[in-house]
């Protein structure tokens, strides 16, 4: 919670519009909260098995440790999302995994992980609300969107499983 809350001051603009993570003024991030959150995460990881909350905190910590968006350790985030997909699979985890894969391997990997023959431009509101989706996926297009979210989830899981084993 501290690792996410640390970015609160930079998350919205003067008219309460959401500011994507890569556009946030990182000088507004609360470094004391980030430090405390990383200390707590480090202690938690050394004492217990890794679960959903530890993985989510680790992903937030990697984002928080980057002083500039260009410094983000995307291979680390990709590895953490691969673990998170095994521990707590969900459509949002699949999407965020695809975004991390695109940042590491290029946009083609994102469409593969989502099970789409082409990448994405038009996204449902629930997907656009993720921190990086509007930035990194906005320039791609869906030619034939899945008929429902269950189909998207199944296609995404199959494609990601294939991408990881290949």
pLDDT tens for each residue of 24-74: 999 999 999 999 999 999 998 888 788 899 999 999 999 999 999 899 999
Rounded to whole angstroms, how far apart are CA atoms 99 and 136? Answer: 7
- pLDDT tens, position by position, 98-145: 889 888 988 776 666 766 544 443 333 333 334 444 333 333 333 334
The predicted pLDDT at position 46 comes to 87
Exposure string for 68-104, b = 16+ CB within 10 A, e = fewer:
eeeebebebbbbbbbebbeeeeebebbbbbbbbbbbe
pLDDT at 156: 52
* pTM recorded for the entire structure: 0.69
Domain ranges of the chain: 1-72, 74-166
């Amino acid at each position: 919670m501290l690792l996410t809350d640390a970015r609160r001051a930079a998350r919205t603009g003067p008219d309460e519009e959401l500011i994507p993570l890569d556009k946030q003024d990182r000088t507004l991030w609360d470094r004391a909260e980030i430090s405390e959150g990383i200390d707590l995460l480090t202690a938690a990881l050394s004492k217990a098995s890794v679960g959903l909350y530890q993985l989510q905190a680790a992903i937030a910590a990697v984002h928080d440790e980057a002083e500039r968006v260009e410094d983000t350790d995307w291979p680390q985030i990709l590895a953490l999302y691969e673990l998170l997909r095994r521990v707590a699979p969900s459509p949002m985890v699949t999407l965020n995994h695809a975004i991390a894969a695109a940042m590491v391997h290029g946009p083609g990997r994102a469409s593969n992980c989502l099970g789409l023959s082409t990448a994405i431009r038009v996204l449902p509101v629930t997907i656009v609300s993720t921190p990086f989706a509007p930035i990194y996926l906005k320039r791609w297009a869906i030619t034939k969107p899945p008929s429902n979210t269950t189909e998207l989830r199944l296609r995404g899981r199959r494609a990601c499983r294939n991408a990881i084993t290949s």
